Structure 1
Amino acid sequence: MATVAARRLLRPSSFTALSSANRIFSSTASPPPNRSSNTNSPVSFDWSDDDENSSARPSTSPSESPTLPPPYDPFSKKPVVTDPADPTNLQEIFHRMRTEGLTDYAIKMFDGLSKDGLTHEALALFSVIKDKGAMPDVVAHTAVLEAYANAGPGHWRDAVRTYDRMLSTGVAPNAYTLSVLVKGLGASDRWKEAGKYLLDMLDRGMRPNVATCLAAFEAHVRMEKVEEGKELLEKMKKKGFTLDEEAVRSSTVKRGHVFKGVINLLFGK
């Protein structure tokens, strides 16, 4: 039922929502001071002059005629959203965000939340688009964060900086946001940072899925930080979180020393 509702909410006629989303990247608007954690109002990215890779920043020019994507089909076997052909081409990715809007990213977030059993949160996200005609702030920030996370190890600092700025503007992350961050840091072998934000999820009352946990622990194993990984596991257990061995085994590629190392780290086998 959740996916059917999402499909209705993302009909191409939702031009107002997409137009509002495009304004998210306008540098002419500034967020009001002391904003609450409400994620339903427009937001701007104020990229400072000392940011690296200025050509890869989101464009500040609003779109005049965005191309509307097709409606979400919950019965399709194809990926929910097609990933960019070259995830390292940030300039092109941010250009597409500006010209085509953020609906694809909203769909990915909805799908991720739904698969983790957070259906109510997913539907609340899309009710904002439908009822208020605006793209939620959390979608915009997560879209930029995800672009950096997928661009490779050289952009892990940009992903963390985007997350920090998200918090500083009063936008509360959801489980999908933090999952994207942890996975990106893990893939970049930033084991310490991945563990930090995995604990952040638990502190925020979120339950990280198996894939998110594995991204952090696999990074520990690859970087030969097994003892640190065990310390992370103990901290998670003290917060009331445990991993199911069967779920881990079914989600991990069963080959090589990384798989064996992760199983040994998590379950002592």
Structure 2
Amino acid sequence: MKETGLFPDAVAMHDGLCKDGLVQEAMKLYGLLHETGTIPKVVIYTADVDYCCKAHKSDDAKRIFRKMQTDGISPNGFSFGVLIQGLCNANELEDAIDYCIEVLEAGHSPNVTTFVGLVDGLCREKGVEEAQSAIATLRQKGFLVNDKAVIEYLNKKAPFSSSVWEVIFGKKSSEKPF
């Protein structure tokens, strides 16, 4: 399949089917790709989770994510990030925190985008104290914040509320830790 150029076409086809809401057809394609062994299963499952999240079908995204795990496919950090960001966008913040804990227990770590998105969502929906509590829990589970990377991200993707800065660094944005 790779030699004939069908590999990119298969990926594009899977992508298009999912975007058009034809998840069953995409899963049939997944079966075909699985038989030929050309695309890692984690990529297909993660794409399905991503499309469900973007279609505001977070229950389907969580179901597919769990199916990936029950099928013996270990999600990678990117897979977790796709789901966590989707849950944050859907304001399913408790589930997002649970998956953040799970990603840490699996030996991965949320990336900067995922982490900041979670903090931002928590600040908006739950307030600073809840956000601080959630981040403290993540830190207890071994999450380490790369301050420099977070500062660069916050400055590039500004504006973020002073609450986000306060939760992450213990300071308001006017007291940015440079």
TM-score, normalising length from structure 2? Answer: 0.75
Q: Identity of aligned pairs, percent?
A: 25
Higher share in helix: 2
Q: Is the 8 A contact 2:88 2:121 kept in 1?
A: yes
Match of 1:186 among 72, 78, 88: 88
- Distance in 1, matches of 2:11 and 2:100, equals 33
Q: Which residue number in structure 2 is paired with residue 261 of structure 1?
A: 163
Any unmatched runs of 5+ in structure 2? 172-178
| Deviations, residues 70-92 of structure 1 (Å, cap 9, x unaligned) | 9xxxxxxxxxxxx87x95x423x
Please give the residue correspondences for 1:1-269 in structure 2 after superposition, counting only pairs within 5 Å: 11=2, 13=4, 15=6, 18=7, 67=9, 89-91=20-22, 94=23, 97=26, 133-152=37-56, 155-252=57-154, 253-255=157-159, 258-269=160-171
Q: Is the 8 A contact 1:150 1:184 kept in 2?
A: yes
Higher relative contact order structure (alpha carbons within 8 Å, sequence separation ≥ 6): 1
Q: Is the 8 A contact 1:198 1:216 kept in 2?
A: no
Q: How far does residue 179 in structure 1 lie from its aligned partner after superposition?
A: 0.8
SS at match of 2:103: helix
- Distance in 2, matches of 1:96 and 1:14, equals 21
| Deviations, residues 135-181 of structure 1 (Å, cap 9, x unaligned) | 222122212111101113xx111111111222222221111110100
Q: Is the 8 A contact 1:12 1:69 kept in 2?
A: no
Q: Which residue number in structure 1 is paired with residue 176 of structure 2?
A: none
CA-atom RMSD, angstroms? 3.2
Q: How far does residue 98 in structure 1 lie from its aligned partner after superposition?
A: 6.3
Query: Taking structure 1 as reference, are residues 68 and 163 closer, same or farther at Cα in structure 2, changes over 3 Å only?
Result: closer
Any unmatched runs of 5+ in structure 1? 1-9, 19-65, 71-82, 103-127
Query: Taking structure 1 as reference, are residues 226 and 191 closer, same or farther at Cα in structure 2, changes over 3 Å only?
Result: farther
Query: Taking structure 1 as reference, are residues 11 and 226 closer, same or farther at Cα in structure 2, changes over 3 Å only?
Result: same
Q: How far does residue 259 in structure 1 lie from its aligned partner after superposition?
A: 2.9
Q: How far does residue 183 in structure 1 lie from its aligned partner after superposition?
A: 0.8
TM-score, normalising length from structure 1? Answer: 0.52
Q: Is the 8 A contact 2:123 2:130 kept in 1?
A: no
The count of residues paired between Structure 1 and Structure 2 equals 163
Query: Taking structure 1 as reference, are residues 98 and 156 closer, same or farther at Cα in structure 2, changes over 3 Å only?
Result: closer
- Distance in 2, matches of 1:190 and 1:176, equals 19
- Distance in 1, matches of 2:25 and 2:149, equals 36
- Distance in 1, matches of 2:63 and 2:142, equals 29
Q: Is the 8 A contact 2:53 2:61 kept in 1?
A: yes
Which amino acid letter does the alignment assign opposite residue 90 of structure 1? G
Q: How far does residue 95 in structure 1 lie from its aligned partner after superposition?
A: 7.5
- Distance in 2, matches of 1:69 and 1:140, equals 9
